[in-house]
Amino acid sequence: MYVEQVLFGHLDKPDSTVWPDPNLGCLGPKDARLLLPGNVGLKKALDPKTTKATPEQLQEDKKRMEDEISFWRNLCESPSNHQRQVQMLHQHEEVEKIQLEEMCAVEKALQEKTGSTLECKAHPCPDLLRRELAGLFVNVNMREGPLTVITLCQRTVNDMTAWSADMEEERDELIENFIKTATDICADLRRKSLWADFVEPNSGRPFYSPYTNTTFFETDERYRHLGFRIQDLGCCKVIAHHKWGTHAFVGSIFTNAPVGSEFIESIVNRTNGVEETSQN
């Protein structure tokens, strides 16, 4: 009973002050009724008529104390604002990951359904682009004669605006496919005594021609002359296709074969699979 009285503030108050003791002085027992510094207490506590705490009061005090202890324990165990923010960020990343996976699955299913993942087009090189590319192919007269730009656009599963390991792996595969296709096209044109070269995507420089400081990367603003859009994301730029948006990878081949020539039409149709479709 004494322990409960100490815990919950109910003590049997003696009728008289027990401190200071004339023999022990300040080392003697302190009067529990005088709780304030300087041996000061409340008048009500010194009232000898104060009634003792009943068992019901003790039980209520005990319950109130247990509730307070439970409240502070739960408060201490609950996550802090920083921990909540970290949890929210993790949840947001998980949601973005799921959405990206769903979007990639939809895009992949669309590609499998339509079968259209490659677009090959031949463009007559605009005069403005022709002059600006004079420093790219230094061994060819870019200012005179016919000049055709063949663009190979591959539709991607991943959005090229958001870097990820999957996007980087897909891009490396697309670059490899482009170089292989562009090499075959240039070989066909050269066998017909025509000049042809393409821009290596990683370096932005000609694949066959001599080295030059001039570059023509995939995100070059001059691609606007060929019907593409260049989006500036602040930290980087990305090329956008008119149908596939930023789900695209673009490479370019240059040749002095005229746009309407049989060689160019054959290359474009064969690359797009038109001849195979007509045979079927």
Interval 91-124: pLDDT, tens: 877 887 787 677 666 656 655 554 568 899 999 9
Q: Are residues 135 and 191 in the same domain?
A: yes
> Which structural domain, as residue segments, surrounds residue 94?
79-115
**Residues 255 and 193: beta-carbon distance below 8 Å:** no
At residue 53, the pLDDT reads: 73
278 found inside a domain: no
State how many domains the chain has.
3
User: Can you read off the two tokens belonging to residue 130?
Assistant: 């022709």
Q: Are residues 235 and 171 in the same domain?
A: yes
In angstroms, rounded to a whole number, what is the distance separating the alpha carbons of residues 227 and 222? 10
207-235 pLDDT, tens digit per residue, is 999 999 999 999 899 999 898 999 888 88
210 found inside a domain: yes
At residue 275, the pLDDT reads: 46
At residue 182, the pLDDT reads: 95
280 found inside a domain: no
**How far are the Cα atoms of 11, 33, 48, 70 from residue 58, in angstroms, in the given order?**
11, 18, 20, 18
Q: Are residues 64 and 110 in the same domain?
A: no
11 burial type by CB count under 10 A (0-12 exposed, 13-18 middle, 19+ buried): middle
214 found inside a domain: yes
- Indicate the pTM of the whole model: 0.58
**Residues 223 and 239: beta-carbon distance below 8 Å:** yes
User: Can you read off the two tokens belonging to residue 248?
Assistant: 């695209």
